[in-house]
Structure 1
Amino acid sequence: MQNQVVSREEWLEARRALLLKEKEATHLRDRVNAERMALPWVRVEKDYVFDTPDGRRSLSDLFDGRSQLIVYHFMLGPDWEAGCPGCSFLSDHVDGALPHLNNHDVTWVAVSRAPVAKIEAYKNRMGWKFPWVSSASSDFNFDYHVSFSPEDLGGDKVFYNFTSIPPEEANDELPGLSAFYRNDKGEIFHTYSSYARGPEELIGTLMILDRAPKGRNEDSTMNFVKRHDEYADAPKASSCCH
């Protein structure tokens, strides 16, 4: 830490100057949010089917009676042993938000290509309650550009985050978030998607760290993150059965 140590008066002057920029960022965020709300929509024509603990469900079923659906594209491939640490980090922040989202006519669902049994096992390990389904039986992940076949990765370019990237910068699974709307006729529209660091603002821990003296204290994006049960001081799971 090499920060300059100054008087309270000098600190107040610097803090006021930063406050102006923080207000600019807030106003810019408001304008970006307004433009996000004004984006055109695309009608979803394909009938997607998902595997769930309660059987197969359509995309319409995932709305769970609400008009808005947020899908988190969670990185957990069919042959993965555990979920992505970064996706797990974000997902640690979801359960507390669910009552507020549901009350606001929004349903949150995580989607992965792993089979339901593997999803349920990892979900139980992490202690999460949010809905999580498998898209293994459909093209959903491929159509929304978060899963890539060996043929995709063997080509010259991969389409991710609305652009073409070298396949060596990709993986068989990548993160993202997509939003959908269902009207009274039952028609479904794709309204928004965000990839890479786009959903970062959903991770409240990062927003707190950004205000701590050392910030994120990282060498590369989120390189400090582990699954919450893998930290040295993480509580150990009980071996007792109840």
Structure 2
Amino acid sequence: MQQHQIVSREQWIVARKALLAHEKELTQARERLADERRRLPWVKVDKAYEFEGPNGIVSLGDLFKGRPQLIVQHVMFAPDWDAACKSCSFWADGFERMVPHLAARDTAMVAVSLAPSAKLEAFKKRMGWTFDWVSSGRNDFNRDYGVSFSQEEVATGKPMYNFGTTPFYGPELPGISVFFRDEAGAIFHTYSCFARGLDMMNAAYQYLDLTPLGRHEEGLPYPMDWVRLRDQYEPQPAKGACCHG
């Protein structure tokens, strides 16, 4: 951790206002980017995807639950795994309680993974999650939307993830895809993001970015090496705490 200058409150306010100017620049840039995102062209979805849910087979259209917009969180959970990816679970903990708020703005949200529904439901119960989660193991949805690749594709070393800009680090990778359904029932793919594009959706990271230590991931084998499933963290004693008997 770098050494920080210790100043008076008045001096701190001056420095904080200078940073605020840069924060406002970022906010304005983000708003412009969001507008560009909304102006992207759409692709009509012609495949009749079927997913396995806890109550049987459902279509892509069913996942909208009567709403015009659908957000799909692609959660890494291969059929032979016993648990979802710890990093994807880190994101899932963050959006767990967002679903009613999104629904209030005409938007449904669902998690999609390759593992069979029974495994998804068991892990969902373990984590205490309530969001909808369906299996895409019976279709090409994961491949079509850029989060599942064959071992042969991975072995080539050719970047295919994140629109061909990011090297593979495995056959199962994370992402978010967005869809729109019009009044006639036609479905359109409007947006997808991967890799660092997912970063803004992790509230815990955004909070850590406000702190002096930040994400504190320097020197780790990879940035999220520290992340565990929520029920696997070791209890951490409060550093600097004083206890008197």
Q: Is contact 1:77–1:172 with CA below 8 Å preserved after alignment?
A: no
Flag the 1:198–1:164 CA change in 2: closer, same or farther, 3 A. Answer: closer
Query: Normalising to structure 2: TM-score of the pair?
Result: 0.90
- Distance in 1 of aligned mates of 2:85 and 2:18: 39
Q: 1:69 aligned to 2:60?
A: no
Corresponding residue for residue 153 of structure 1: 154
Q: Which runs of 4+ in 1 moved over 6 A?
A: none
Task: Give CA deviations for 1:1-48 in whole Å, capped at 9, x if unaligned.
Answer: 322212223222211111110000000110011101111100011111
Q: 1:194 aligned to 2:196?
A: no
Matched to 1:133, the amino acid is V
Q: Is contact 1:152–1:158 with CA below 8 Å preserved after alignment?
A: no
Corresponding residue for residue 214 of structure 1: 213
Distance apart, 1:95 and its partner CA: 2.4
Distance apart, 1:154 and its partner CA: 2.6
Distance apart, 1:158 and its partner CA: 4.1
The aligned length equals 232
- Distance in 2 of aligned mates of 1:131 and 1:157: 34
- Distance in 2 of aligned mates of 1:227 and 1:64: 29
Corresponding residue for residue 226 of structure 2: 224
- SS of 2:160's equivalent in the other structure is strand
Higher mean alpha-carbon deviation, 178-187 vs 144-153, is at 144-153
Task: Give CA deviations for 1:47-82 in whole Å, capped at 9, x if unaligned.
Answer: 111011111111111111111000000011111121
1:27-38 superposed matches below 5 A: 27-38=28-39
Corresponding residue for residue 8 of structure 1: 9
- Distance in 2 of aligned mates of 1:161 and 1:139: 17
Flag the 1:198–1:165 CA change in 2: closer, same or farther, 3 A. Answer: closer
Matched to 1:67, the amino acid is P
Corresponding residue for residue 237 of structure 1: none
Matched to 2:70, the amino acid is L
Q: 1:180 aligned to 2:179?
A: yes
Corresponding residue for residue 242 of structure 2: none
- Distance in 2 of aligned mates of 1:156 and 1:201: 27
Corresponding residue for residue 49 of structure 2: 48
Flag the 1:137–1:158 CA change in 2: closer, same or farther, 3 A. Answer: farther
Query: Normalising to structure 1: TM-score of the pair?
Result: 0.91
Matched to 1:51, the amino acid is E
- Distance in 2 of aligned mates of 1:96 and 1:133: 18
Q: Percent identity?
A: 51
Matched to 2:124, the amino acid is K
Distance apart, 1:126 and its partner CA: 0.6
> What RMSD over aligned residues (CA atoms) do the two structures have, in Å?
1.5
Matched to 2:188, the amino acid is F
Structure 1 residues without counterparts, runs of 5 or longer: 235-242
Higher mean alpha-carbon deviation, 98-107 vs 128-137, is at 98-107
- Distance in 1 of aligned mates of 2:92 and 2:178: 16
Q: Is contact 1:161–1:194 with CA below 8 Å preserved after alignment?
A: yes
Flag the 1:191–1:108 CA change in 2: closer, same or farther, 3 A. Answer: same
Task: Give CA deviations for 1:153-186 in whole Å, capped at 9, x if unaligned.
Answer: 23342411111554xx331100000000000111
Matched to 2:212, the amino acid is P
- SS of 2:19's equivalent in the other structure is helix
Structure 2 residues without counterparts, runs of 5 or longer: 237-245
